[in-house]
Each structure stands twice: as structure tokens, then as C-alpha cells.
Amino acid sequence: MNFNRRELLRLCGGAGAAAWLAGCGEEEAGAAPHLGLPFESRAPVLEGDAAAPWWARGNYAPVADEYDSRDASDRLEVIGALPPTLNGTLLRNGSNPKDEDPLFWFFGDGMLHGLNLSGGEARWYKRSWIQTPAVKGEQAGVAAGRANTSLVRHAGRTLALYEVAPPFEVRPEDLSSVGYHSFDGATYGPMCAHPKVDPRTGEMWFIGVSMVPSALSCTCVGAGGEVLKHTSMPLDAMRMIHDFQLTPRFVVLLDLPVLLNPAFVSGGPMFEWRPDRVARIGLMPRDGELSATRWFEVAPSYVFHTFNAHEEGDEVILEACRFVPSAEDDFFTNTSAPTPWRWSLNLKTGAVREEALSDLSVEFPTIDLRRQGQAHRFNYGLQITAPTPDYPLHPRGLFKQDRASGAVELWDRGEALQLDEAVFVPDSPSAGEDEGWLLSVAYHRAEARSELLVVDAQRLSAGPVARVILPTRVPFGFHGLWVPEG
């Protein structure tokens, strides 16, 4: 976004860009720092019944009903100025139990939240339960499809995802539900929460972990939505494999020593840390089968989420947020905080080099997805605060790292806000990497409500250029997606 005033007026349209520039000028002329957001240094305390589990308290607790700001005639207040190039809908997905009391945070019914922005205005906010068989009372238990975890847009469809079920199609324009999507019957099984869309080919790749019998699958869907490849292999235990990566030649797999504990349904811990098992990263050739995967042994650790992977000479580089668990680790109330990490896998020698990217605690990593699978420069994510007896592991502020220089940029308001995953939106289709906006829904603790923060990725430490005040709270969820107009 290194445009002068004339270029921005030309690119964005005179009136909208002029209004945005005027808003920016007012802030620079002496508006409240951080657009009036407070700072709080005191550690938070989780509100609600202390006898209830943490995921049923504070802003983890579900909301009780659906909502549409247009039906309620609620105006969405904007503080600052929304960039006129943000035209689309931000979707958020998360666990929001409707009737059934879940055994854990992961197993609540999926609720979709949508916030529409257009022409420098916040048009509407809506939330709706995703109409899965589970939410309609036709399925029950931990194996029921909840569509509550993540979202992907591919081949004209928007899919809500849940680790142990097929994808569930929704419509971003009104948050309505379509139903399970089977890719024309070619495959109908688990789809992971974090598929990867190759910007060069338009292909979407995803993995799936079946529980009984335990198996790993890998699927490639063409740019038009047709299944091009499906391969699978058995697993010797119920692995917790939440994410993977993609490069031009390889699918990058994570086989790390955290297992899903079958005794969980009868009251045991959900996760089982097994450092006695081999930890390894696999490279499956995109033109081969899972059986052809080449495995590289690494130091024991666990990864929920990755930044990216790319090929560099004889090496495949993977970057992710890495936990080093302990025997009692539950990853939420008793855990160490994750750190950004890099693995370099040498294709010639088989050697592995591991190193920290930073000593900061970071999770919910993201990049400019136009660089998916290619060398990229900037990593983004949320700063993470370690758990206390009164509050689980949680995000607070934004993180950005320039991979070329190693420079780190941060923004936070202490514990005044709890941020959701930040979604990077390019300023235009032709904008350069980092020329865009980070969108994060934040919970304002003092006022017990939520708002959207819009941050210039190139000036992250300056804080938001706009705040959209929502008339209700958005429970802390899992993942989001920006769906541009058209």
C-alpha cells in the first residue's frame, strides 16, 4: 500500500478513497491513540460458574440465539475509517453448543458469524447455527459432524470443516446451510480443518484422519471441483493430525507423538503425549501415493498450526508454531506456550535442521495465501499468554515477522482484549505481499462485547485503522475466512 494520494484515489474511486484518507488524516492529527482502546496489565479471571468447565465460561461460553443486525435495526458503529478496498464478508466459525452439552470445547455445534463490509461501511453482522444433522437433533455424540472448526473457499463453494466429518457447504451471502458436500460422490469422508489451495494451479489439497479403523488419507481436488487424486494408508494409533503443508512437489505431513485417547469419552484426558514414539515429518510426492512418503525424524514436539512450506535448493522448509508438551499437558490449562519454529529437510542427505524463529509465544499463524507453498517474506499470528489457575492459554495481541531480516513487530493492549485469529486480506489482487489488512474479531473484556479490528499489515505496531463495534459478543472461536464480493 505504498500509494500516493492520487494513486489511491484512482485505484479505489474518488469519493470512497477521499473519505478514507480524510479519516486517516484525522487520526494522525490527534485522535485517541489506538483508536481509544484501553490497556490492561492485570491477568484476566474467567467469569461464570467456577464449577463449570472453562469452555462454558467467559467469552468461551456459547451465545443462546441467532441474530441479524438488520432484523434488530442495530447500526454497526465504526471508529476510525474502514479502507474502501475491503468489500466482502468476514466469516468466523466456532463451537457453540445449542442443546447437547459437549464433552469438550471442540465438540460444540458449529455457529457461523458474518460481518459484511463494503464501500467503507460496515453493512451487517449476522450469526447462525450451521444446520448439520447434529444441530437438528438427528445425530449426537463426539462422532457427529459439527462443521465448527474452519472454512475454505474453492471452486465457487464455501465449506465449513470439522476434523472427523465431510465438509459442509454454507452460503456466505446469508449464512444459510446447503448440506454435506461429497465432491460429486467421489469421496465422502473426513476432511481436515486446514486444506491448502495452490494459487498456481487452483488445486485444493486436504488430508483426513479416520478413527475406526485409524487411517490417513490425502485428496487433491482440481480447480473446477473434481477429485483428481485420493490415496490412503493405515495408522497404528489414533493420531492427532490437525494441519499439514504443501509445496510445488510435495505434501508435507506431520506425524508427531500426540495421540487421541480413546478413553476420553469415558472421562480420560483427550490427548496423550507419547515422547517414546518417533516424531517425524513426511514428504509425499504430489504425483505419488502416501505409501511413497519419505520420512524425516525430528525432535519430539507437537504442532496444531503451520505458517507455510516451500522448496529452497535441496531443502524443503516448513514453519509452524511448536509446542513441547509434558506428561500432564492438556494444551489449554496446563501447558507451555508455543513458539514459531523452522524445520529444514535436506532431500539429498536426509539431514534435518531445526531452529526457533523467535522466542515469543505465538499461535494461529497465517501468511498472505497468495504465497501458499512458495517462498514468502512475512509471517503473522497472535501473541499467546501462558495459562494461569484462573484463565487458560489465550491470545492477546498481533505478531508479525519479516523472514528476510528477522525483525519482529508487535501490537497489543495487554489483557484488555482477547483477539481471534487474524485473517490477511490483500489490498487488491495485484498488491504486493504485506500490502493488505489484518482482520481480527476481538473481545473487549471491560464491556463484555466484541468488535472487529482492521490493522494495516505494513504498520502493524500502529494498531487498528478502524474498529467496528458489534452490538453483541462473538464467542472465542477457531478460524475465519474472508470472502470478497463477486
pLDDT band at residue 26 using 50, 70 and 90 as cut-offs: very low
- 96 pLDDT exceeds 80? yes
What pLDDT, on a 0 to 100 scale, did the predictor assign at position 185?
84
Contact 254, 241 (CB under 8 A): yes
- 350 pLDDT exceeds 80? yes
Contact 309, 296 (CB under 8 A): no
Domain boundary among 357, 382, 406: 357
Closest listed residue to residue 127, CA positions, set 163, 159, 90, 102: 90
pLDDT band at residue 95 using 50, 70 and 90 as cut-offs: very high
Give yes or no: residues 201 and 94 share one domain.
no
Give yes or no: residues 350 and 375 share one domain.
no
List the grid coordinates of 172.
456466505
- 17 pLDDT exceeds 80? no
What is the mean predicted confidence (pLDDT) over 321-332?
93
Domain for residue 137, yes or no? no
Give yes or no: residues 316 and 454 share one domain.
no
Contact 147, 164 (CB under 8 A): no
Pick 334 or 185 by higher pLDDT: 334
pLDDT band at residue 264 using 50, 70 and 90 as cut-offs: confident
What pLDDT, on a 0 to 100 scale, did the predictor assign at position 31?
66
pLDDT band at residue 29 using 50, 70 and 90 as cut-offs: very low
What pLDDT, on a 0 to 100 scale, did the predictor assign at position 213?
86
Contact 461, 409 (CB under 8 A): yes
Give yes or no: residues 274 and 321 share one domain.
yes
Edge-first strand order for the sheet with 110-118 is: 67-68, 121-129, 110-118, 88-95, 479-484
C-alpha to C-alpha distance for 277 and 310, rounded to whole angstroms: 27
Give yes or no: residues 346 and 388 share one domain.
no
Domain for residue 287, yes or no? yes
The residue whose grid cell reads 504442532 is: 303
Domain for residue 263, yes or no? yes
What is the mean predicted confidence (pLDDT) over 399-425?
98
What CA–CA distances, in Å, run from 3 to 9, 17, 112, 155, 484?
9, 12, 35, 32, 22
The residue whose grid cell reads 475509517 is: 81
Q: Which residues contact 436 (CB under 8 A, 6 or more apart)?
A: 1, 368, 424, 425, 426, 427, 457
- 360 pLDDT exceeds 70? yes
List the grid coordinates of 291.
505409501
**Overall pTM surpassing 0.95 (yes/no):** no
- 442 pLDDT exceeds 60? yes
Give yes or no: residues 388 and 479 share one domain.
yes
Per-position DSSP letters for 52-70, written without gaps between them: S-GGGSGGGSPPSS-EETT
Domain boundary among 331, 357, 383: 357
Domain boundary among 335, 357, 379: 357
CATH number at residue 338: 2.40.128
What pLDDT, on a 0 to 100 scale, did the predictor assign at position 25?
44
Domain that holds residue 252: 194-357
What CA–CA distances, in Å, run from 412 to 249, 301, 419, 450?
38, 28, 9, 16
Give yes or no: residues 236 and 319 share one domain.
yes
Give yes or no: residues 469 and 349 share one domain.
no
Q: Which residues contact 71 (CB under 8 A, 6 or more apart)?
A: none
Domain for residue 181, yes or no? no
Question: Mean pLDDT for the chain?
Answer: 92
pLDDT band at residue 212 using 50, 70 and 90 as cut-offs: confident
Give yes or no: residues 103 and 248 share one domain.
no
Domain for residue 234, yes or no? yes
Residues of the chain with pLDDT > 90, as a percent, come to 85
Task: State how many domains the chain has.
Answer: 2
Residues of the chain with pLDDT > 70, as a percent, come to 93
The pLDDT tens digits for 34-73 are 999 999 999 999 999 999 999 999 999 999 999 999 999 9
The pLDDT tens digits for 383-404 are 999 999 999 999 999 999 999 9
Edge-first strand order for the sheet with 196-197 is: 196-197, 204-210, 215-221, 227-234
What is the mean predicted confidence (pLDDT) over 433-448?
97
Give yes or no: residues 117 and 228 share one domain.
no
The pLDDT tens digits for 2-13 are 444 334 433 444
